[in-house]
């Protein structure tokens, strides 16, 4: 897959149920390879692996170029050895909302307690419905970029969020 990714990101209310509404979930582990102008990510999602390259964000973090290719688990294992220290681990829940799928990421490790939701759009001005567990929008807030969560995990700054998200 390659092309532009248009994505909005939101915090999830801690007291709202999203798991019972999910039609699927998967475990994700990802690492990052040092790069200056792009984000290079190695991801294992359940029993499949991917190499992803993302360009810089534009439009306040809403849009960026993305290239993704499936690789073997053995290739991913070797690429993880080239990654910068630290990994991001999370369980991703898929929830249908109108014509879209909301991906809810429940983080583990040093990011435990953080729950984010993302929705991918076909156009920047595309209308969409959000379930009631969705809270404050954080699109473009670099603290919530997975690459940033690897370097500055949620455990360091969790107290900066409103109580309904902690």
- The four Cα atoms 133, 163, 127, 52 give a dihedral, to 10 degrees, of -90
Copy the structure tokens of residue 129. 């419905």
Q: Which residue has the tokens 């435990």?
A: 112
Chain center to CA of 2: 17
Low-confidence ranges of the chain (pLDDT < 50): none
Tell me the chain's radius of gyration from C-alpha atoms: 15
Q: Which pLDDT does position 59 carry in this prediction?
A: 77
Q: Which pLDDT does position 1 carry in this prediction?
A: 63
Q: Which pLDDT does position 134 carry in this prediction?
A: 97
pLDDT in tens, 68-79: 999 999 999 999
Q: Report the sign of the C-alpha dihedral through residues 63, 64, 69, 73, in that order.
A: negative
Active-site residue, from 18, 32, 154, 165: 32
- Cβ contacts of 156 within 8 Å, gap of 6 or more: 110
- How far, in Å, CA of 57 to CA of 140, rounded? 8
Q: Are 30 and 44 in contact (CB under 8 A)?
A: yes
pLDDT in tens, 134-160: 999 999 999 999 999 999 999 999 999
**Beta strand 39-45 pairing with 48-54:** antiparallel
Which helix (H) or strand (E) is 69 found in, with range? strand 63-71
CA atoms within 13 A on the CB side of 8: 20
H helices within 26-153, ranges in order? Answer: 73-80, 146-151
Residue 113, SS3 per DSSP: coil
- Is 32 catalytic? The answer is yes
Q: Which pLDDT does position 9 carry in this prediction?
A: 97
């Amino acid at each position: 897959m390659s092309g532009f990714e248009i994505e909005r990101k939101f915090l999830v209310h801690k007291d709202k149920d999203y798991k019972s509404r999910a039609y699927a979930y998967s475990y994700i582990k990802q690492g990052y390879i040092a790069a200056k102008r792009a984000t290079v990510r190695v991801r294992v999602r359940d029993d499949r692996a991917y190499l992803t390259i993302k360009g810089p964000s534009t439009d306040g973090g809403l849009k960026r170029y993305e290239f993704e290719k499936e690789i073997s688990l053995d290739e991913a294992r070797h690429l993880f050895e080239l990654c910068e220290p630290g990994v991001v681990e999370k369980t991703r829940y898929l929830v249908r909302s109108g014509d879209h799928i909301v991906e809810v990421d429940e983080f583990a490790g040093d990011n435990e307690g953080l729950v984010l939701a993302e929705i991918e759009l076909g156009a920047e001005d595309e209308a969409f419905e959000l379930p009631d567990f969705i809270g404050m929008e954080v699109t473009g807030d670099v603290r919530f970029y997975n690459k940033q969560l690897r370097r500055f995990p949620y455990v360091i700054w969790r107290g900066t969020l409103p109580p309904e998200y902690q």
